[in-house]
Chain A
């Protein structure tokens, strides 16, 4: 068992967060979530009924088992994000929010300017904001100062399964983190998730790789193992990489003898 992660005062024993989109059925999603051991699941506000009517997706989520993290997928600017957030808070009875503002429907790239402004506004309104952003070290610092409870930089374009394409920038973000860092988007294989955790990520969020696998339940379990192993490796203290062999007869050995 890994050391727990705390975000906004809430403790998580699983460092694997899951998305709920793209599953072939509600029951498959339910079983995959269970197999992953996750405790935090993100739900697209656009997918759930917000008018009080019964909702098929929510019906498959055990509310006592998972903390819901509504996301604003589909909004294009800060104004829409705030409207969506207020609706999510009322409809889903949580002030936690995964802030997604991507005005570009092709690559779903997050808008840093609108995201920063919305984070500041939403934090003042009492939301626990987890913004989805580029792996931009300066932006992540600004978001923390603006009141983000955690930051969610992307590993690669969302849904691309390319893994840690932004590794060099993620390493900087992790080195100077002021709030937990959840690596989100692009993680296509359990090994990607393990690598993210070995780097020192506080958690990862996975959706496409699990939901679109031939066997989503088995893949959810595989990601759970990978996240736990990666975190354990990080906590155990990974040896640093050496690019050259170390000489067995060091040139400076004589210094130790002479003092």
Chain B
């Protein structure tokens, strides 16, 4: 069985209706549960309209549980776009194949130039991204890992879904995690927004976290792209997916992200569903109460004002200083960005803000050694005490 089998047992519209029918009593019951004992029905209650009057209670509890587990710390990371070449046509993405814009695949020199800028910013956790194309397939990605591995503590991928053997190979080469967002768990919306290319195979994408678990990858990031369908049902399916992965691949850590659709090239005709900042806060808090240990990430898609307030509601990692076009940090040449960021502050500015709020910005919370990195070092004899 894979998650796809489980997903097929739940009709998206029925889930949305069930969430809409949740009552105040359901919400109170969920809020009264002890830590670690919230069911998927409790998650549905916390995501429902009935939970709206309890948002402050949820925020307080979410903050408290996050501090208990993660302390007053915030992991900082940066995306590094290696390519914007993509064979998919997706209605919501700036990299979509039908957009007539310059395409770029970073070569070694450009990758290292980008790495230098990120390293100077203090970044040690880097997320490598590409569009979907055979031109940036496993061999290209392994080569990028080998180039970057000595320079950063943690390297993660957000690239096209691949096979178990590819993921095992990446892990062997020092990759720490893979982010693979389903975009939408609503099959109608999925078909509506993924018009052409390998990404139109919804089943293959749904099974990707299973393949990561089978390959022994240490961490998976899942999530929905909020704005494509009913956000409450999307979030519930993310919860279903999370719990499935926790049970089946218990060694694999998980993180969730909350991307909301942002303006991008070619988006004129895109009809978005509503997912406001209040909704986003409700989703963040609901997930924290559902899982005290899951890592929750907030990107620069959100405004500085929102991030300055939302970071203490359950978030454990934030990107900063992001560029969403290949070569964007070293400004190698103008290229298409995937989406427009909102919070344009530098990592140093974000870190200074966090410090002023009593939070420690964490630049490094991993070590390449844990991913099997063996650096050539002189032999050191054991020292007597």
New A-B pairs, 12, CB < 8 Å, besides A89-B383, A105-B251, A106-B250: A10-B385, A23-B73, A24-B73, A24-B359, A46-B153, A48-B364, A80-B369, A80-B370, A89-B382, A90-B380, A126-B381, A126-B382
The CA of A89 and the CA of B377, in the complex, are separated in Å by 12
Task: Check if A232 is an interface residue, CB within 8 A of chain B.
Answer: no
Q: Which residues of the partner chain B approach A22 to less than 8 Å between Cβ atoms?
A: 67, 70-73
Task: Check if A75 is an interface residue, CB within 8 A of chain B.
Answer: yes
Q: A22-B70, A106-B246 are in contact. Are A8 and B364 (CB under 8 A)?
A: no
The CA of A108 and the CA of B297, in the complex, are separated in Å by 21
Cβ contact within 8 Å between A211 and B385: no
Q: Which residues of the partner chain A approach B367 to less than 8 Å between Cβ atoms?
A: 45-46, 50, 74, 84, 87
Task: Check if B269 is an interface residue, CB within 8 A of chain A.
Answer: no
In the assembled complex, the CB of B308 is this many whole angstroms from the nearest CB of chain A, namely 16
Q: A24-B72, A48-B364 are in contact. Are A95 and B369 (CB under 8 A)?
A: no
Task: Check if A208 is an interface residue, CB within 8 A of chain B.
Answer: yes
Q: Which residues of the partner chain B approach A26 to less than 8 Å between Cβ atoms?
A: 360
8 Å CB contact of B358 from A21, A25, A94: A25
Cβ contact within 8 Å between B68 and A83: no
In the assembled complex, the CB of A151 is this many whole angstroms from the nearest CB of chain B, namely 18
Cβ contact within 8 Å between A93 and B383: yes
Cβ contact within 8 Å between B364 and A94: no
In the assembled complex, the CB of B370 is this many whole angstroms from the nearest CB of chain A, namely 5
Q: Which residues of the partner chain B approach A94 to less than 8 Å between Cβ atoms?
A: 383
Proximity string of chain A (50-89) to chain B, C-beta cutoff 8 Å, 1 when within and 0 when not: 1000001000000000000000001110001001100101
In the assembled complex, the CB of B379 is this many whole angstroms from the nearest CB of chain A, namely 9
Q: List 28 A-B contacts (CB under 8 A).
A: A9-B385, A21-B73, A22-B70, A22-B72, A23-B360, A24-B359, A24-B360, A25-B359, A25-B360, A44-B365, A46-B364, A47-B365, A75-B370, A76-B218, A80-B369, A84-B367, A87-B367, A89-B382, A90-B380, A93-B383, A95-B382, A103-B251, A105-B253, A159-B68, A208-B71, A212-B67, A212-B68, A212-B71
Task: Check if B146 is an interface residue, CB within 8 A of chain A.
Answer: no
* 8 A-B pairs closest in CB distance: A22-B71, A126-B382, A24-B72, A105-B253, A24-B358, A95-B382, A87-B369, A103-B251
The CA of A90 and the CA of B253, in the complex, are separated in Å by 28
Q: Which residues of the partner chain A approach B187 to less than 8 Å between Cβ atoms?
A: none
The CA of A38 and the CA of B279, in the complex, are separated in Å by 45
The CA of A48 and the CA of B365, in the complex, are separated in Å by 8
Task: Check if A221 is an interface residue, CB within 8 A of chain B.
Answer: no
The CA of A9 and the CA of B385, in the complex, are separated in Å by 8
Q: Which residues of the partner chain B approach A10 to less than 8 Å between Cβ atoms?
A: 385
Task: Check if B345 is an interface residue, CB within 8 A of chain A.
Answer: no
Cβ contact within 8 Å between A212 and B72: yes
A-B contact count (CB 8 A): 98
Proximity string of chain B (234-251) to chain A, C-beta cutoff 8 Å, 1 when within and 0 when not: 000000000000100011
Task: Check if B374 is an interface residue, CB within 8 A of chain A.
Answer: yes
Cβ contact within 8 Å between B383 and A21: no
8 Å CB contact of A83 from B364, B374, B382: B374
Task: Check if B33 is an interface residue, CB within 8 A of chain A.
Answer: no
Cβ contact within 8 Å between A84 and B360: no
Q: Which residues of the partner chain A approach B380 to less than 8 Å between Cβ atoms?
A: 89-90
For window 114-155 of B, CB contacts with A under 8 Å fall at: 153
Q: Which residues of the partner chain A approach B365 to less than 8 Å between Cβ atoms?
A: 44, 46-47
Q: How many residues of B contact A (CB 8 A)?
A: 36
For window 65-79 of B, CB contacts with A under 8 Å fall at: 67-73
Task: Check if A145 is an interface residue, CB within 8 A of chain B.
Answer: no
Task: Check if B372 is an interface residue, CB within 8 A of chain A.
Answer: yes
Q: Which residues of the partner chain B approach A17 to less than 8 Å between Cβ atoms?
A: none
For window 101-125 of A, CB contacts with B under 8 Å fall at: 103-106, 125
In the assembled complex, the CB of B317 is this many whole angstroms from the nearest CB of chain A, namely 14
Q: Which residues of the partner chain A approach B358 to less than 8 Å between Cβ atoms?
A: 24-25
The CA of A9 and the CA of B383, in the complex, are separated in Å by 13
Q: Which residues of the partner chain B approach A211 to less than 8 Å between Cβ atoms?
A: 71-72
Task: Check if A49 is an interface residue, CB within 8 A of chain B.
Answer: yes
The CA of A93 and the CA of B380, in the complex, are separated in Å by 9
Q: Which residues of the partner chain B approach A103 to less than 8 Å between Cβ atoms?
A: 251
Closest partner residue, chain B, to A212 (CB atom): B67
Closest partner residue, chain A, to B251 (CB atom): A103
In the assembled complex, the CB of B381 is this many whole angstroms from the nearest CB of chain A, namely 8
8 Å CB contact of A95 from B70, B251, B383: B383
The CA of A127 and the CA of B317, in the complex, are separated in Å by 34
Closest partner residue, chain B, to A49 (CB atom): B364
Task: Check if B4 is an interface residue, CB within 8 A of chain A.
Answer: no
The CA of A126 and the CA of B380, in the complex, are separated in Å by 11
Q: Which residues of the partner chain B approach A127 to less than 8 Å between Cβ atoms?
A: 382
Task: Check if A191 is an interface residue, CB within 8 A of chain B.
Answer: no
Q: Which residues of the partner chain A approach B333 to less than 8 Å between Cβ atoms?
A: none
Cβ contact within 8 Å between B364 and A23: no
Q: Which residues of the partner chain B approach A56 to less than 8 Å between Cβ atoms?
A: 363
The CA of A194 and the CA of B66, in the complex, are separated in Å by 27
Task: Check if B306 is an interface residue, CB within 8 A of chain A.
Answer: no
- Counting chain B CB atoms within 10 Å of each CB, the highest count among A10, A47, A94, A105 belongs to A105
In the assembled complex, the CB of B97 is this many whole angstroms from the nearest CB of chain A, namely 37
